Structure 1
Amino acid sequence: MCGIFAYLNHNVPRERRYILEVLFNGLRRLEYRGYDSAGICIDSSDLASVSEDQPRIPSNSPRAIVFRQEGNIEKLVKSVYEDVAATDLNLEELFPVHAAIAHTRWATHGEPAPRNSHPQSSGPGNEFLVVHNGVVTNYEVLKETLVRHGFTFESETDTEVIPKLAKFVFDKANEAGDDQGVTFAEVVIEVMRHLEGAYALIFKSRHYPNELIACKRGSPLILGVKELNEHVNSEPLYDPKFLSNPKTNEPKELFFSSDANAVVEHTKKVLVIEDDEVAHIKDGSVSILKFDHGKDKKSGSHSRPASVERAISVLEMEVEQINKGNYEHYMQKEIHEQPESLTTTMRGRLIRGGSCKAKSVLLGGLKDHLKTIRRSRRIVFIGCGTSYNAALAARPILEELSGMPVTMEVASDLLDRQGPIYREDTTVFVSQSGETADTLQALHYARENGALCVGITNTVSSAIARNTHCGVHINAGCEIGVASTKAYTSQIVVMAMLSLVIGGDTISNQARREAIIDGLFDLPNKVREVLKLDQEMKDLAKLLIAEQSLLMFGRGYNYATALEGALKVKEVALMHSEGILAGEMKHGPLALVDENLPIVVIATNDACFSKQQSVIQQLRARKGRLIVMCSKGEASLVSPGGSSRVIEVPLVEDCLQPVVNIVPLQLLAYHLTVLRGYNVDQPRNLAKSVTTQ
Structure 2
Amino acid sequence: MCGIVAVVAQRDVAPLLIVGLKALEYRGYDSSGVAVLDHGSIKRVRAKGKVREMEARYLADPFSGGTGIAHTRWATHGAPNEANAHPHVAGRVAIVHNGIIENHVSLRNSMKARGHTFQSDTDTEVMAALIDGRIGQGMTLREAVLTTVRELEGAYAIAVISRDEPGRVVGARCGAPLLVGVGIGENFLGSDAQALIQVTNRMLYLDEGDVVEITRDHVQVCDLDGRPVERTVHESELSTDEVERGEYRHYMQKEIFDQPSAVTNTLEARVGPRGVLPNIFGSDSDTLLRRTRGLHVIACGTSYHAGLVAKYWIEEYARLPVSVEVASEYRYREVVVPADTLLVAISQSGETADTLAALRESRRRGYLGTLAICNVPESSLVREADLKLMTRAGPEIGVASTKAFTTQLAGLALLALELANRHGLDPERLDMLCAELRRMPLAIRDALKLEPAIIDLAAGFVRHEHALFLGRGAHYPVALEGSLKLKEISYIHAEAYPAGELKHGPLALVDEDMPVVAVAPSGPLLDKLKSNLQEVRARGGRLIVFADGGTGMDDMTGHGAMLRVASGCSFIAPAVFTVPLQLLAYHVAVLRGTDVDQPRNLAKSVTVE
1:271 equivalent to 2:204? Answer yes
Matches for 1:537-616 after TM superposition, within 5 Å = 537-616=454-533
Alignment partner, residue 380 of structure 1: 296
Alignment partner, residue 453 of structure 1: 370
Equivalent AA in structure 1 for residue 254 of structure 2:
K
Distance 1:392 1:518 in 2: 23
Alignment partner, residue 665 of structure 1: 581
Residues 503-522 of structure 1, C-alpha deviation per residue, up to 9 Å, x if partnerless?
A: 22566522222122111211
Q: Given the two structures, how large is their TM-score scaled by the length of structure 1?
A: 0.85
Alignment partner, residue 117 of structure 1: 85
Question: Could you tell which deviates more after superposition, 490-499 or 642-651?
Answer: 642-651
Distance 2:275 2:17 in 1: 50
Query: CA contact under 8 A between 2:5 and 2:69: conserved in structure 1?
Result: yes
Selected match of 1:188 from 145, 157, 162: 145
Alignment partner, residue 620 of structure 1: 537
Selected match of 2:267 from 346, 356, 364: 346
Alignment partner, residue 40 of structure 1: 34
Query: CA contact under 8 A between 1:350 and 1:362: conserved in structure 2?
Result: no
Query: CA contact under 8 A between 2:205 and 2:232: conserved in structure 1?
Result: no
Alignment partner, residue 71 of structure 2: 103
Distance 2:124 2:555 in 1: 57
Q: CA deviation at 1:188?
A: 0.9
Matches for 1:437-586 after TM superposition, within 5 Å = 437-451=353-367, 452-504=369-421, 508-586=425-503
- Relative distance call for 1:4 and 1:283 in structure 2 (3 A) is closer
Alignment partner, residue 157 of structure 1: 122
Distance 2:327 2:423 in 1: 33
Which consecutive residues of structure 2, in runs of 5 or more, have no partner in the other structure?
Answer: none
Distance 2:379 2:420 in 1: 28
DSSP-derived class of the 1:155 partner: coil
Query: CA contact under 8 A between 2:187 and 2:215: conserved in structure 1?
Result: no
1:332 equivalent to 2:253? Answer yes
Alignment partner, residue 31 of structure 1: 25
CA RMSD in angstroms comes to 1.7
- Relative distance call for 1:82 and 1:348 in structure 2 (3 A) is same
DSSP-derived class of the 2:54 partner: helix
Equivalent AA in structure 2 for residue 330 of structure 1:
Y
Alignment partner, residue 243 of structure 1: none
Alignment partner, residue 71 of structure 1: 49
1:424 equivalent to 2:343? Answer no
Distance 2:207 2:388 in 1: 19
Residues 10-66 of structure 1, C-alpha deviation per residue, up to 9 Å, x if partnerless?
A: xx4x2x4xx32211110011112232000001233xx4xxxxxxxxxxxxxx21101
DSSP-derived class of the 1:115 partner: coil
Distance 2:557 2:231 in 1: 68
Query: CA contact under 8 A between 1:362 and 1:501: conserved in structure 2?
Result: no
Alignment partner, residue 208 of structure 1: 165
Distance 1:507 1:256 in 2: 50
Q: CA deviation at 1:211?
A: 0.6
Residues 579-631 of structure 1, C-alpha deviation per residue, up to 9 Å, x if partnerless?
A: 11112111111111222210011111123222112212222222221111100
Residues 297-316 of structure 1, C-alpha deviation per residue, up to 9 Å, x if partnerless?
A: xxxxxxx4211222211101
Distance 1:375 1:281 in 2: 46
Q: CA deviation at 1:424?
A: 3.2
DSSP-derived class of the 2:119 partner: coil
Alignment partner, residue 286 of structure 1: 219
Selected match of 1:83 from 61, 66, 87: 61
Distance 2:537 2:232 in 1: 64
Distance 1:8 1:459 in 2: 26
Query: CA contact under 8 A between 1:633 and 1:648: conserved in structure 2?
Result: no
Percent of paired sites with the same residue: 39
Distance 1:34 1:528 in 2: 29
Alignment partner, residue 256 of structure 1: 189
DSSP-derived class of the 2:410 partner: helix
Residues 96-131 of structure 1, C-alpha deviation per residue, up to 9 Å, x if partnerless?
A: xx1111000111111111110001111xxx401110
Q: CA deviation at 1:283?
A: 5.7
- Relative distance call for 1:282 and 1:25 in structure 2 (3 A) is closer
DSSP-derived class of the 1:563 partner: helix
Distance 1:317 1:507 in 2: 40
Which consecutive residues of structure 1, in runs of 5 or more, have no partner in the other structure?
Answer: 48-61, 175-181, 228-251, 292-303, 353-357
1:22 equivalent to 2:12? Answer no
Residues 305-360 of structure 1, C-alpha deviation per residue, up to 9 Å, x if partnerless?
A: 211222211101111001101111110110000001000011110123xxxxx343
Residues 77-105 of structure 1, C-alpha deviation per residue, up to 9 Å, x if partnerless?
A: 11212234xxxx5x6xxx6xx11110001
Q: CA deviation at 1:539?
A: 1.1
Residues 533-578 of structure 1, C-alpha deviation per residue, up to 9 Å, x if partnerless?
A: 1121111111111101010000101001100000000001011001
DSSP-derived class of the 1:670 partner: helix
Q: CA deviation at 1:376?
A: 3.6
* Pairs aligned (count): 608
Equivalent AA in structure 1 for residue 247 of structure 2:
N
Query: CA contact under 8 A between 1:552 and 1:578: conserved in structure 2?
Result: yes
Alignment partner, residue 368 of structure 1: 284
Query: CA contact under 8 A between 1:422 and 1:449: conserved in structure 2?
Result: no
- Relative distance call for 1:196 and 1:188 in structure 2 (3 A) is same
1:7 equivalent to 2:7? Answer yes
Query: CA contact under 8 A between 1:628 and 1:638: conserved in structure 2?
Result: no
Query: CA contact under 8 A between 2:545 and 2:562: conserved in structure 1?
Result: yes
Question: Could you tell which deviates more after superposition, 484-493 or 376-385?
Answer: 376-385
Residues 206-248 of structure 1, C-alpha deviation per residue, up to 9 Å, x if partnerless?
A: 1211111111001111111122xxxxxxxxxxxxxxxxxxxxx
- Relative distance call for 1:366 and 1:654 in structure 2 (3 A) is farther
Q: CA deviation at 1:454?
A: 1.1
Query: CA contact under 8 A between 1:386 and 1:484: conserved in structure 2?
Result: yes
DSSP-derived class of the 1:201 partner: strand
Selected match of 2:101 from 136, 140, 151: 136
Query: CA contact under 8 A between 1:599 and 1:624: conserved in structure 2?
Result: yes
Distance 1:556 1:471 in 2: 27
Alignment partner, residue 241 of structure 1: none
Query: CA contact under 8 A between 2:318 and 2:425: conserved in structure 1?
Result: no
DSSP-derived class of the 1:416 partner: coil
Distance 2:469 2:70 in 1: 42
Query: CA contact under 8 A between 1:604 and 1:629: conserved in structure 2?
Result: yes
Distance 2:144 2:82 in 1: 27
Q: CA deviation at 1:398?
A: 0.6
